[in-house]
Amino acid sequence: MHDFLSRLGQNVAILGTQWGDEGKGKLVDAMSEHFDLICRSTGGANAGHTIVTNGKKYVFHLLPSGLLHSNTIGVVGNGCVVDLVDLVEEIDSLESLGLQVFDRVKISLRAHLLFQYHKAVDAEIENRKGAAKIGTTHRGIGPAYEDKIARIGIRAEDLLDIDLLKEKIATNCKFHAQNLGVICDEVAEFERLMSVREKIKPLLTDTSKYLRDAIGDGKKILFEGAQAHHLDIDHGTYPFVTSSNVSVGGIFTGLGVSPKSLHHIIGIAKAYTTRVGMGPFPTELTDEFGNQLRENGGEYGATTGRPRRCGWFDAVVVKNTVDINGVDSINLTKLDVLSGVKTLKIATQYFLDGQEIFNIPTTKKHSKNLEIKYLEMPGWTASLSGIKQFEDLPKEAQQYVLKIESLIGCKVSSIGVGMDRTDLIFR
Between CA 427 and CA 425 the distance in angstroms is: 7
Which CA distances in Å does 49 have to 26, 57, 65, 66, 104? Answer: 9, 10, 7, 10, 18
Q: Is 273 in the site for ligand IMP (CB under 6 A)?
A: no
To the query of whether residue 21 is one of the catalytic residues in this protein, the response is yes
To the query of whether residue 118 is one of the catalytic residues in this protein, the response is no
Q: Is 245 in the site for ligand IMP (CB under 6 A)?
A: no
Count the Cβ atoms, other than its own, within 10 Å of residue 115. Answer: 27
Nearest to 327 by CA among 263, 248, 265, 258: 265
Nearer to ligand IMP, 17 or 137 (CB): 137
One of 18, 20, 31, 408 touching ligand IMP (CB under 6 A): 20
Between CA 204 and CA 108 the distance in angstroms is: 6
User: CB neighbours of 299 closer than 8 A, spacing ≥ 6?
Assistant: 21, 274, 293, 307, 308, 310
Nearer to ligand IMP, 34 or 139 (CB): 139
Q: Which residues between 45 and 74 bind ligand IMP (CB under 6 A)?
A: 46-48
Omega prior to 239 cis, within 30 of 0: yes
Nearer to ligand IMP, 74 or 344 (CB): 74
- Cβ burial of 106 (10 Å; 0-12, 13-18, 19+) is buried
Q: Is 242 in the site for ligand IMP (CB under 6 A)?
A: yes
* Least distance to ligand IMP, CB of residue 389, Å: 31
Helix (H) / strand (E) element for 325: namely helix 315-325
Catalytic, out of 34, 49, 61, 176: 49
Can you list the positions of beta strands (E) in 240-308? 264-270, 273-275
Nearer to ligand IMP, 20 or 256 (CB): 20
Give the phi and the psi of residue 130 in degrees, each rounded to 5: 60, -125
Closest-by-Cβ residue to ligand IMP is 277
Nearer to ligand IMP, 242 or 261 (CB): 242
* Least distance to ligand IMP, CB of residue 307, Å: 12
Q: Is 227 in the site for ligand IMP (CB under 6 A)?
A: yes
Between CA 53 and CA 112 the distance in angstroms is: 32
* x-marked contacts with ligand IMP along 111-150 as a string, rule CB under 6 A: -----------------------xxxx-x-xx--------
Nearer to ligand IMP, 29 or 186 (CB): 29
Q: Is 414 in the site for ligand IMP (CB under 6 A)?
A: no
SS3 call for 96? coil
Interface positions with ligand IMP (CB under 6 A): 19-21, 46-48, 134-137, 139, 141-142, 226-227, 231, 240, 242-243, 276-277
- Which residues does the annotation mark as catalytic? 21, 49
